[in-house]
Amino acid sequence: MAIASLRKVTLIGPAAEKDELVVGMQQLACMHVIDLAGDDRSPPWEHPRRSELFAALQYLQRCPTKRPAVNLASQGDVFQVARDVLTNRQRRHDLQVEQDSLIDAIAHTEPWGEFELPAEDSLAGQRIWFYQVRHRRLDDLPADVVFQIISRDREFSHVAVVAPQAINGMPPPVKLDPRPLSQLRKQLSRVEKELEATEVERIALTRWMAVLKQDLFEAECQIERVNTAEQLLDDAPVVGMQGWVPEAALPDLRAFARERSLAIDALREEL
């Protein structure tokens, strides 16, 4: 790791040219600015769109399939693109949650097959309960209970029981989705098609990655300029900037100061 010799440099110029000073020093990119404002400094400023741009770009970068970039010269409304990307992300998330829920509902419902629950008031006070009962416990079902074994697997019998209330002494009844199995499968198919369409749209939006990256860079540069300006000593009619600069960058910094008629003081100090 190379260790560069540093100088503490102070620049003083007209307060009216404060913004130009900050922009110029940002372009030189050679100073680690020292905060001269102290307690007078405002809270750090954040670009209102930076988080949207960052989140949108991050989402597109994770897309496994990408399209060629659009021409940077024809950007259009970049912030609207970012909002479209985030809308796609939210829609994709919602569909994935719905997909997982439907897959889970189908898996739990399949042992009982296709059914549609009747209205609660149509069974004269009776209800339909669903039980997953171990084969050896089938005999524990009360003799006066109406039930039917719907299916079996190696460990359980899946039983539908008609009774006014849950059966005492048995495992808790299984709570199933009230929608018929065919409807659940139909909805799952719809969700999967919508997910495919959402992914196609996401892939198409990757064409804007370079534009989003450029605008994110510009937003971060603006954040840096605004927050750097808050660290300067603004004592109208002059403004002062101070910071640590590598000795190798001093010639460029002195040339910058001459071009803008800035006073410069470069002290050799130990960090």
**Best-predicted range by mean pLDDT (21-35, 92-106, 169-183):** 92-106
Least confident of 7-21, 28-42, 230-244: 28-42
DSSP H or E run through 20: helix 18-28
User: Which of 5, 90, 1, 12 is closest to 265 using CA atoms?
Assistant: 12
d(CA 187, CA 100): 12
Distance CA 124, CA 191 (A): 38
pLDDT tens digit sequence for 159-175: 999 999 998 888 899 99
Asked whether the beta carbons of 149 and 159 are under 8 A apart, the reply is yes
Quote the CA–CA distance of 95 and 207 in Å, as a whole number: 23
DSSP lists the bridge partners of residue 23 as none
Cβ-count burial 104-135 (b if 16+ within 10 Å, e if not) = ebbebbebbeeeeeeeeeeeeeeebbbbbbee
Place of tokens 């040219």: 17
Least confident of 90-99, 116-125, 173-182: 116-125
Indicate whether 97 pLDDT > 90.
yes
- pLDDT tens by residue, 206-263: 999 999 998 888 888 888 888 888 888 888 899 999 999 999 999 999 999 999 999 9
SS3 147: strand
Neighbours of 82 (CB within 10 A): 26
| 194 pLDDT above the threshold of 90 | yes
**79: confidence class by pLDDT, cuts 50, 70, 90:** confident
Give the pLDDT score at 133. Answer: 92
The DSSP call for residue 236 is T
* Cα–Cα distance, 96 to 100 (Å, whole number): 6
Please give the full DSSP string across 30-94, using - where no structure is assigned.
--EE----GGGPPPPP--TTHHHHHHHHHHHHT-SS--PPPPTT----HHHHHHHHHHHHHHHHH
Q: What is the pTM of this model?
A: 0.71
Q: pLDDT confidence of 40, banded at 50, 70, 90?
A: low
Query: Each residue of 110-120: pLDDT tens digit?
Result: 999 998 888 87
Say if residue 271's pLDDT is above 50. Answer: no
Provide the 8-state DSSP code for 190: H
Residue type present at position 122: S
